[in-house]
Structure 1
Amino acid sequence: MNKTELIDHIAQQADISKAAAGRALDAVIGGVKGTLKKGGSVTLVGFGTFAVSKRTARTGRNPRTGDAIKIKAAKVPKFRPGKALKDALN
């Protein structure tokens, strides 16, 4: 499912226009991004938790030349599914 299909699904299930569903989805995504950018986490009970994890700096290899390269430390988004989501899949 892509974003357009998700907007269609939201519009149909919530009985709202596609434009309103698109704005609502953008607001949710923006809220999650903003919270993660501040270092917080977003928990949706029954669905899962979005959080930020820190990846340490490390040494990697250039696959083309085999030379060692330094990879900077980074913050990466993580998603941990909730119990209800796991149960729905099994």
Structure 2
Amino acid sequence: MRGVKRVISVLIAVLAALVVLAFVLENRQGVALTFLGWSTAQMPVAVFVVAALITGMLIRPVFGVMVRSRRSKPLPATRL
């Protein structure tokens, strides 16, 4: 059973890598982003999208840990 799960995991990872590769190859036109007066150099669209994807993948676990730690703490006693 572990072997089947491992093969499926590898196939999903390869498929995801191929999708990202296709996206990068199809979105090579250059753009420059401007946000709150800050402007970037002209880079392919795929660079910005992949950077946003990686940032989201890094931030999500941090928020998950924060929420879990907040739920596990007992509530302070209140006086009436």
> If the length of structure 1 is used for normalisation, what is the TM-score?
0.29
The structure carrying a bigger strand percent of its residues is: 1
The structure carrying a bigger helix percent of its residues is: 2
> If the length of structure 2 is used for normalisation, what is the TM-score?
0.32
